[in-house]
Structure 1
Amino acid sequence: MAAIVYFAKQSEDPQVIVYKFGDDPAGLARTLTMDKASRTSQPGDGEADYTFLKASRKINAVYSESNTWPERGMSVS
């Protein structure tokens, strides 16, 4: 079974970035907050499920490759 997650940057300040994410690109209903210094994230709704982990890992992977935080993206597996 395939899994897909979409994400898009919602806001950014010097310490954190807030991303919206979900399995439907037209309705990104959840948020995660990424700490820029530690590169750790927290789910906005407190639910650290597979979709949250997939989005967080992809955001970190893109940052590792490009040294810039992505504006948007997706992960498929």
Structure 2
Amino acid sequence: MASLVYFRKVAESDGWVEYAFGSDLDDMPRRLVMDRESRRGRPLDGGADYAFLKASRKINAMRDETSQWPDRGMSAS
């Protein structure tokens, strides 16, 4: 079974970056926050499920590649 998750940056501050994410490009109802220093994510709804893990891992991978927090992206497997 294929898995797909989209994400886009919705807000940021000096200490964190917030992303919307979900399985539909036009409807990303969930939010996660990435801590800029620790680079750890947390889902704002408390649901640390597979979609959250895929999104947060891809965000960190893109951050590693570019040294910048991505504006948007997707992860497919």
Q: Does TM-score exceed 0.5, indicating one fold?
A: yes
Shift of 1:66: 0.6
User: What percentage of aligned pairs have identical amino acids?
Assistant: 53
Structure 1: 4+ residue segments shifted above 2 A: none
Shift of 1:46: 0.1
- The residue number in structure 1 matching 2:20 is 20
Aligned residue for 1:11, secondary structure, equals strand
- The residue number in structure 1 matching 2:46 is 46
Give the Cα–Cα distance (whole angstroms) in 2 for the partners of residues 65 and 43 of structure 1: 23
Aligned residue for 2:58, secondary structure, equals helix
Shift of 1:54: 0.2
Count of residue correspondences: 77
Shift of 1:2: 0.6
Q: Unaligned regions of 5+ residues in structure 1, if any?
A: none
Shift of 1:76: 0.3
Shift of 1:41: 0.5
CA RMSD of aligned residues (A): 0.3
Give the Cα–Cα distance (whole angstroms) in 1 for the partners of residues 18 and 68 of structure 2: 14
